[in-house]
Amino acid sequence: MTSRKLALIWKHKALYLIALPGIAYFIIFKYIPIMGSVIAFQDYNIFQGITGSAWVGLEQFERMFQYPEFLRILKNTLLINLYDIVFGFSAPIILALMLNEVRKMLAKRIIQTIVYMPHFLSWVIISGIFIGILSPSTGMVNHFLNLFGIDSIYFLGEDSFIRTIIVGSGMWRETGWSTIIYLAALAGINPQLYEAADIDGANRWQQTWKITIPTLMPTIMMLFLLQIGNFLDFGFERVDVFLNPFNRVNGEIFDTYIYEAGLLQNQYSYTTAIGIFKSVVGLILLVGANFVSRKTTGNSLY
């Protein structure tokens, strides 16, 4: 290291000092645990530890690809994540645009508060609410269907609705909360642009299309890329609370399978292999999306 570099660091010592806790956090809680992934190449036994367990090479990965249900779980994981990105990502943008058009400040505030309240509920409570309103005997939704002469549907007792329910409940919880960033971005748009457009005779629809969306675009792209970074990392709890043996066929994702097979059946090496596979796929997607984004819109994460 040259003395110039050191001098540079010394010059910005305050910044480095501020960054230190963050760096420490990533090293301790993200990088060091990655080393534990070596157990994917072992037949890990908790009593022998990482140093004592036998090495088995790629056996765990082979077993994973041979597992007859592997493709089904992969398909579920991809589909649920895809739905979540398509619907779950676009909903807050639309909601933010709609809220932006609300003229009465009081109404806007009230709506905003109501829509982001579910964010603070835990998944257990949310699943309780959804199971309640979807119940065939006492649920609101089925009462409504019955009014139109449609028979009650056992939504959680069969496999055709589970993906919708999982993605829908996530949207109900997070849409309001996610609008906050967009609303902040919207507040930052120079009002003169709208005034100028007004004078030029643009209606509200044209203003939204020509001014609001283009100015929001960098924010949208950035959030989209961050979202892609979490692709396949759907989260265990929000799926597990809705799963039962009757909808598992279409609802089971990697996270829930890892929990079932790994934590409950002590197959740590096998499920770590699955976790690694999942991470690698996620990484490829992130790099790919980032590349496409940089080429097409000029925005990228790095």
Binding site for other proteins (CB under 8 A): 45-48, 63, 68-69, 131, 135-137, 154, 156-159, 244-246, 248-249, 260-261, 263-267
How many CB atoms within 10 Å of residue 84? 22
Please, are residues 43 and 269 in contact by the beta-carbon 8 Å criterion? Answer: yes
Closer to other proteins by Cβ: residue 261 or 287: 261
What b/e sequence results for 213-236 when a residue is b if at least 16 CB atoms lie within 10 Å of its CB, and e otherwise?
eeebeebbbbbbbebbbebbebeb
Closer to other proteins by Cβ: residue 36 or 214: 36
Closer to other proteins by Cβ: residue 91 or 162: 162
Please, are residues 116 and 176 in contact by the beta-carbon 8 Å criterion? Answer: yes
Closer to other proteins by Cβ: residue 41 or 44: 44
Q: How far is the CB of 154 from other proteins (least distance, A)?
A: 7
Q: How far is the CB of 105 from other proteins (least distance, A)?
A: 28
Q: How far is the CB of 157 from other proteins (least distance, A)?
A: 5
Closer to other proteins by Cβ: residue 90 or 152: 152
Q: How far is the CB of 49 from other proteins (least distance, A)?
A: 9
Closer to other proteins by Cβ: residue 129 or 292: 129
Q: How far is the CB of 119 from other proteins (least distance, A)?
A: 25
Instruction: Give the integer Cα–Cα distance in Å for 169 and 117.
Output: 14
Closer to other proteins by Cβ: residue 157 or 275: 157
Q: How far is the CB of 257 from other proteins (least distance, A)?
A: 8
Q: How far is the CB of 234 from other proteins (least distance, A)?
A: 20
Closer to other proteins by Cβ: residue 245 or 298: 245
Q: How far is the CB of 89 from other proteins (least distance, A)?
A: 30
Q: What's the 3-state SS for the chain? A: CCHHHHHHHHHCHHHHHHHHHHHHHHHHHHHHHHHHHHHHHEECCCCCHHHHCEECCCHHHHHHHHCCCHHHHHHHHHHHHHHHHHHHHHHHHHHHHHHHHCCCHHHHHHHHHHHHHHHHCCHHHHHHHHHHHHCCCCCHHHHHHHHCCCCCCCHHHCCCCHHHHHHHHHHHHHHHHHHHHHHHHHHCCCHHHHHHHHHCCCCHHHHHHHHHHHHHHHHHHHHHHHHHHCCCCCCCHHHHCCCCCCCHHHHCCHHHHHHHHHHCCCCHHHHHHHHHHHHHHHHHHHHHHHHHHHHHCCCCCC
